[in-house]
Amino acid sequence: MTDITAKSRRQFLSYLAASPLAGALSGINLAHAADVVSSPADAIDIFDLEATASGNIPMAHWGYLATGVNGDSTLRANRTAFEKYFLRSRRLIDVGNVDTSVEILGTRWPTPIILAPLGSQKAFHAEGEIASARAARARNHLQLLSTVTSTPVEEVAEARDAPIWFQLYTMGGWSGVKARLRRAEAAGCPVVVLTVDLAGGTSARHTLLRAIKKDTRDCAVCHQGDGVAAQGKPMLDGMDNDAEVSLTWEFLDRLKQETTMKVFVKGIVTAEDAERSLEHGVDGIIVSNHGGRADESGRGSIDSLAEVASAVRGRTTLFMDSGIRRGVDIFKALALGADAVMVGRPYIWGLGAFGQPGVERALEILTDELRVAMQSFGTPTLADIGPDNIDSF
């Protein structure tokens, strides 16, 4: 697609300001005084990058990034649920040398902040996933790549210059799944992450549909076919993308037998499914509601984490995503039992605002905020963060 005009951007921002959707889109809190900034260094927090990106990204693409499901109640709950939890500060502890590092499957990372798999990143910046990979390389963060990436796994792995993890959808049937597994393995991916919260392959993303109606560009320039098999999805090339595989526990077993990669499941939100995941021998669980984009449960992901962590009890690697916007959010997730967290929209806001430097700034902001939180609450290392640090109203 060609770049959206300045006039169209102004029209869309005016539409948002007057719309009842304002505040629902991407969890924007209108009480927060975010600024449009002219350089990454000028961003005070993540929301400044969001404000800047919203003026750069075409409105239909912004709608894709910002949307939840139906009335976006789960999208909003992902933020408001954090407010139910408060943190307990410990004093007179030496926090002069805070260590934010974490070990994940035998590899030590400088922070527990992981780049979540978010597809079609060239919709937000011309360099797309390559810019994100270079930012992850510069700051040494673990990166997950989406099946619907707009850049092939081989190129992203080369740009990251370190192993990346691959997120798996089931388009193309079992033959398509196997083809993607082989490519991910050949690219050096040590882990495949099966997303299990889009069993029907789609969801009712009304905010996206409304944004598309307001975008005057010709979308056919970029998109062809039925949308799933859209142009620019290299991991789906040459496949019958109408063919699907039912997401079942039997499929999970078959997947584990088919690949040499470790297998995580993403989208687990209940204790029952966490227990069953362990019974099926998964290597890790990611608590996630797809950033509010999968189903309209109305439940915040941080609440699901509290339930799942109580069931897992440290028996496997546990991540959480959906709704994290600040360092204290990360601290709360770690206190409730997550080993690490994944962020999606925050680093994409950086991407849309400034490309690679914007992604680096987003990761820097979150890391710095986490470090300040650890000092504030008397936890010199991530291992010191635990249930004694958190409670709920």
Q: Is 1 a member of any domain?
A: no
The SS3 assignment for 237 reads: coil
List the CATH number of the domain containing 249. 3.20.20.70
Which pLDDT belongs to residue 1? Answer: 41
Single pTM value for the model: 0.89
Contact 165, 144 (CB under 8 A): yes
Which pLDDT belongs to residue 17? Answer: 47
Which pLDDT belongs to residue 23? Answer: 46
Buried b (16+ CB within 10 A) or exposed e, 204-240: ebbbbebbbebbebeeeebeeeeebbbebbebbeebe
Q: Is 291 a member of any domain?
A: yes
Q: Is 108 a member of any domain?
A: yes
Q: How far is CA 340 from the centre of its chain?
A: 12
Residues 6+ apart with CB under 8 A from 127: 355, 356
Q: Is 48 a member of any domain?
A: yes
Find the largest Cα–Cα distance for the chain.
62
Domain tally, the chain: 1
Following DSSP, what letter does each residue of 55-77 receive, concatenated? HHS-HHHHHHHH--STTTHHHHH
Which pLDDT belongs to residue 250? Answer: 97
Catalytic residue among 61, 125, 141, 290: 290
Contact 65, 286 (CB under 8 A): no
Measured CA to CA in angstroms, residue 37 lies from 22, 23, 50, 345, 354 at distances of 20, 20, 10, 18, 10
Contact 365, 50 (CB under 8 A): no
Q: Where are the beta strands (DSSP E) in 222-370?
A: 262-268, 284-287, 317-321, 340-343
Instruction: Give tens-digit pLDDT for 41-95.
Output: 999 999 999 999 999 999 999 999 998 898 999 999 999 999 999 999 999 999 9
Instruction: Give tens-digit pLDDT for 358-368.
Output: 999 999 999 99
Q: Is 228 a member of any domain?
A: yes
Which pLDDT belongs to residue 153? Answer: 98
Domain of residue 116, residue span:
6-392
Which pLDDT belongs to residue 129? Answer: 98
Q: Which residue ranges of the chain lie beneath pLDDT 50?
A: 1-6, 10, 15, 17-31, 225-230
Which pLDDT belongs to residue 212? Answer: 84
Q: Is 193 exposed, middle or buried (0-12, 13-18, 19+ CB in 10 A)?
A: buried
Q: Where are the beta strands (DSSP E) in 11-141?
A: 85-87, 102-104, 107-109, 113-115
Q: Is 290 part of the annotated catalytic residue set?
A: yes
